Amino acid sequence: MSQVWDNEPGMVLVMGVTGSGKSRFVNLLKGGAAEEGDGLSSVTQQCQIVRVRIGSELAYVVDTPGFDDTTRSDADIFEEITNFLGTQYALGLALKGIIFLHRITDMRIQGSTLSNMIAFKEMCGDNALKSVILLTTFWDVLGDKSLGARRQQELREDFWSDMIAKGSQVRRFDGSRDMAEALVMRLVDKPPIVLQIQCDIMLQGKRLEDTSVGKRIVARLERSLLEKDKELEEVQKQISGISNIRLPRDLRQLEDRLEKILRQRERIYASRQKLKVTLGPEINAKVERQKRSSVVKDKIEFFATLLGLTMSVTTNIILPLLSIGF
């Protein structure tokens, strides 16, 4: 691993599925730093870095796009987050931990939510789970708090137990700025971590499709491609059975449907191809080119420029962190 720069502030990632409150959490640290949505539609389209000073400590908090995005595929999100993490690793910036958000208002853990939890755990790897906070959100809109308590206990016992056993902490988010700051500072005080996905792409040189998370996404994409191929075959059979002269309207409708399926298949195929890339060498080469052409003064600004990311700065004051037990 690249040597971590001395005295460089630590970085904390805020992760979770779309609509779990990531941007809302970040905006408690700096109002307006991240655009918030009104519901489950995605707003955060790329990683956003917020530089915050909490008391005497400086930290970088990163708002990340979530899986189950309403406009982008999981393959696109995975590639972006992995590129971010790989570049952070290559530059030696200290990653201190991750706050993973989950809506307590979700009535049940559906297949996609469970799949995303598994993907998150695999991205982290066992050794990094001690620096993960599993944070349940949206308690303020939950009328029955006892129901929320039962759901959180279910999460502890049925879905997060292996992560908890390896050191992850579960917390109920009260929606306050004080608690957001305290959680960030708890992680900033920890030693740097290296995630499994960083080892996979930067040390072992794996392609995205060969990582644990990549394999899961590939399996879903290939199932989707097969489904689209079947749909195409069916529509083509229907078209071949229609007389252009007698049923022109039906034919046009089928041709429109065929074009729509083809476009959908092209997008799925493009996502599949994106996972064939070997990011590690590309990231290292890009970092070296940029270092030769730039005068590096502020490391985090160099990092943000390298990835074309936005960065916000704020200064906060916090009382001693005594109220958030770990």
* 305 pLDDT above the threshold of 90: no
pLDDT bucket at 5, cuts 50 / 70 / 90: very low
**CA 18 to CA 40: how far, in whole Å?**
6
Q: What is the pLDDT of residue 39?
A: 44
Query: Length of the chain in residues, anyone?
Result: 326
Q: Give the mean model confidence (pLDDT) for residues 82-105.
A: 95
- The predicted model gives 112-118 an average pLDDT of 87
Q: What is the Cα–Cα distance from 254 to 260, expressed in whole angstroms?
A: 10
Residues 217-232: pLDDT tens digits?
999 999 999 999 999 9
101, 137 contact by CB (below 8 A): yes
Domain segments of the chain as ranges: 10-206+278-316, 208-274
Instruction: Give the mean pLDDT of the chain.
Output: 86
**CA–CA separation, 65 and 73 (whole Å):** 11
**What pLDDT does 314 receive?**
53
Q: How far is the C-alpha of 16 from the C-alpha of 81, rounded, in Å? A: 12
Q: How far apart are CA 200 and CA 316, in angstroms?
A: 36
Q: What is the pLDDT of residues 156-181, one digit of tens each?
A: 999 999 999 999 999 999 999 999 99
Q: And the tokens for 44?
A: 């955060």
Is 194 in contact with 90 (CB distance < 8 Å)? no
pLDDT at 3 over 80: no
pLDDT given for residue 102 in this prediction: 95
Residue 289 tokens read as 């080119």
CATH number 3.30.710.10 given to 10-206+278-316: no
Q: What is the pLDDT of residues 40-81, one digit of tens each?
A: 444 446 888 998 888 888 899 999 988 877 678 899 999 999
Q: Does the structure show a pLDDT above 80 at 247? A: no
Q: Is the pLDDT of residue 149 over 60?
A: yes
Confidence at residue 313, expressed as pLDDT on a 0 to 100 scale? 58
**Model confidence at 322: pLDDT above 70:** no
